[in-house]
């Protein structure tokens, strides 16, 4: 006897939207993926992840299901079967009973089989009644280790690409500050570690390859530090300098330079320096009483968004990467009470996420880089310090909505939020690129 359940009602046998996303594409097997075009306004794709055999099969399946769910592109149809054979049909080459799945409205089936080299993964298009992608994935490390889980996340990201045309974000990580420690956690909230950074470390930022983290230190010996994550070794890039505070470093998109804030006794300005060291370059002109800080570089490296109080209150500005042609971005609802801060440039180059004080609480907004009407994303509690995921769709941010500052993730398309960390005081998150491959689509 087979028992299948789903959150939506059963539907009749119909042509489903998953098929057009895959049709008329290169369907060469053995890992040559289908370059489907994902439409964010499209309903979620309904997917089944079949049970996985082997000693750690339940864990593999649970991780993949959670990754696909957290992508906010799929509806996961659960299967609870006391007779796995009921899902099979000897009359099909793939051995699956496609009519049963189609009757349930399932559009895609993910079938994972352990093999000596790792995992054999097949994607089935239910409407076609055929396998449309196959690939074998190696597994790193010991079962359930941090590296092993990262291998499973990469499986999830590739399955997401097969269906939507864009890699998932499960294989990315998030750095943040807890107390006096910089920590790193997987995008699903697991495998958290503490980095061996300076005790006064703050404001972590990833390089584009997710192999290095830059951070600043506070106090009388303020510095900009770069850490190599493969070795755990750190080196000072800038500082210390008497009566100067260095903060908020960010890498340029090619990874060659770091842009940061240098604050003296009367002003703060933006500077940059090569990751290899050398002379610093001043980017903002410097005026007594003017504070310019919190830089974020555009994906093409040509522009920088930052915060300046040149108008008397903190607003967002965009300038060319050489420091010229600065202009205010948040030129709406001008008021002496305005406070706009924490900008981050979306990886697709379209939007700036930032925090704005509204009714004495900070909330997250996005605004097009060309200016215009901003979009309010949060309203519950105080929300600040947004950082974009590599898909330019999800944001991680600090929120007090539970009464304590913790990290949350939002899908900016649907508004769905989920809690990432559960310790009071977590703050200053920074989302990495995807690990184990290209950071792009």
* pLDDT tens-place string over residues 276-298: 999 999 999 888 889 999 999 99
The DSSP bridge partners found for residue 292 are: 308
Q: Which pTM was predicted?
A: 0.89
CB neighbour burial string for 226-246, b if at least 16 within 10 angstroms, e if fewer: bbebeeeebeebbbeeeebbb
Predicted local confidence at residue 92, as pLDDT: 54
* CA-CA-CA-CA dihedral for 220, 226, 232, 234, to nearest 10: -50
CA atoms within 13 A on the CB side of 70: 26
Average pLDDT over residues 153-159: 98
Residue 3 confidence (pLDDT) above 80: no
Residues 6+ apart with CB under 8 A from 41: none
Predicted local confidence at residue 5, as pLDDT: 30
Long-range pairs for 337-341: beta carbons < 8 A, 24 or more residues apart: 337/313, 338/313, 338/314, 339/313, 339/314, 340/307, 340/314, 340/315, 340/316, 341/294, 341/307, 341/314, 341/384
Predicted local confidence at residue 95, as pLDDT: 79
What domains, with CATH codes, occur in the chain?
A: 2-164 (3.40.50.10070), 173-431 (2.120.10.30)
Predicted local confidence at residue 247, as pLDDT: 98
Average pLDDT over residues 322-327: 96
Which pLDDT band holds residue 115 (cuts at 50, 70, 90)?
very high
Predicted local confidence at residue 334, as pLDDT: 77
Cβ atoms of residues 130 and 94 within 8 Å: yes
The percentage of the chain sitting over the pLDDT mark of 90, rounded to a whole number, equals 79
The pLDDT mean for the chain works out to 88
Task: State pLDDT tens for residues 207-224.
Answer: 999 999 999 999 999 999
Predicted local confidence at residue 371, as pLDDT: 92
Task: State pLDDT tens for residues 427-441.
Answer: 999 999 999 754 443
Least Cα distance to 109 among 22, 188, 9, 41 occurs for 22
Residue 206 confidence (pLDDT) above 60: yes
Task: Name the least confident of 88-97, 122-131, 228-237.
Answer: 88-97
* CA-CA-CA-CA dihedral for 196, 200, 203, 207, to nearest 10: -40
Residue 364 confidence (pLDDT) above 50: yes
Phi, psi dihedrals of residue 155, rounded to the nearest 5°: -60, -50
Q: Which residue has better confidence, 19 or 5?
A: 19
The percentage of the chain sitting over the pLDDT mark of 70, rounded to a whole number, equals 86
Residue 22 confidence (pLDDT) above 80: no
Q: Of 96-100, 197-201, 262-266, 375-379, which has the strongest mean pLDDT?
A: 375-379
Residue 89 confidence (pLDDT) above 90: no
Average pLDDT over residues 19-27: 35
Q: Alpha-carbon distance 441 to 430, whole Å?
A: 20
Residue 107 confidence (pLDDT) above 50: yes
Phi, psi dihedrals of residue 87, rounded to the nearest 5°: -85, -10
Predicted local confidence at residue 289, as pLDDT: 87
End-to-end CA distance of the chain: 42
Q: Which residue has better confidence, 288 or 190?
A: 190
Length of the chain, please?
Answer: 441
Cβ atoms of residues 410 and 395 within 8 Å: yes
Predicted local confidence at residue 83, as pLDDT: 46
Task: State pLDDT tens for residues 54-67.
Answer: 999 999 999 999 99
Q: Which element (helix H / strand E) includes 160?
A: helix 146-164
Q: Which element (helix H / strand E) includes 148?
A: helix 146-164
């Amino acid at each position: 006897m087979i028992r299948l359940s789903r959150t939506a009602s059963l539907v009749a046998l119909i042509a489903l939207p998953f098929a057009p996303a895959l049709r008329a594409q290169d369907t060469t097997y053995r890992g040559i993926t289908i370059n489907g075009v994902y439409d964010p306004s499209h309903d979620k794709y309904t997917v089944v992840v079949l049970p996985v055999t082997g000693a750690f099969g339940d864990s593999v399946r649970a991780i993949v299901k959670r990754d696909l769910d957290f992508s906010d592109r799929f509806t996961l149809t659960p299967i609870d079967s006391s007779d796995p054979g009921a899902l099979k049909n000897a009359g099909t080459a793939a051995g699956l009973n496609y009519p049963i799945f189609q009757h349930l409205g399932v559009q895609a089936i993910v079938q994972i089989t352990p093999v000596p080299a790792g995992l054999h993964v097949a994607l089935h298009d239910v409407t076609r009644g055929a396998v449309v992608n196959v690939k074998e994935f190696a597994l790193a490390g010991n079962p359930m280790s941090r590296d092993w889980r990262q291998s499973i996340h990469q499986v999830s990201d590739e399955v997401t690409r097969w269906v939507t045309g864009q890699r998932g974000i499960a294989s990315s990580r998030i750095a943040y500050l807890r107390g006096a420690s910089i920590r790193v956690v997987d995008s699903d909230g697991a495998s958290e570690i503490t980095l061996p950074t300076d005790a006064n470390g703050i404001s972590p930022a990833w390089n584009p390859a997710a192999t290095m983290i830059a951070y600043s230190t506070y106090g009388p010996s303020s510095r900009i530090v770069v850490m190599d994550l493969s070795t755990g070794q750190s080196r000072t890039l800038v500082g210390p300098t008497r009566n100067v505070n260095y903060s908020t470093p960010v890498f340029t998109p090619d990874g060659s330079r770091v842009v940061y804030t240098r604050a003296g006794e009367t002003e703060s300005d933006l500077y940059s320096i090569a990751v290899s060291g050398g002379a610093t370059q001043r980017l903002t002109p410097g005026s007594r009483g003017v504070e310019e800080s919190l830089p974020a570089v555009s994906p093409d490296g040509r522009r920088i968004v930052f915060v300046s109080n040149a108008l008397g209150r903190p607003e967002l500005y965009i300038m060319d990467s050489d420091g010229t042609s600065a202009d205010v971005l948040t030129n709406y609802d001008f008021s002496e009470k305005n406070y706009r801060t924490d900008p981050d440039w979306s990886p697709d180059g379209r939007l700036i996420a930032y925090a704005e004080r509204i009714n004495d609480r900070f909330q997250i907004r996005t605004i097009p880089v060309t200016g215009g009407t901003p979009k309010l994303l949060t309203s519950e509690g105080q929300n600040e310090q947004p950082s974009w995921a590599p898909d330019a769709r999800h944001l991680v941010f600090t929120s007090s909505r539970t009464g304590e500052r913790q990290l949350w993730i939002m899908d900016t398309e649907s508004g769905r939020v989920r809690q990432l960390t559960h310790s009071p005081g977590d703050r200053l998150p920074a989302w990495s690129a995807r690990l184990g491959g290209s950071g792009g689509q």
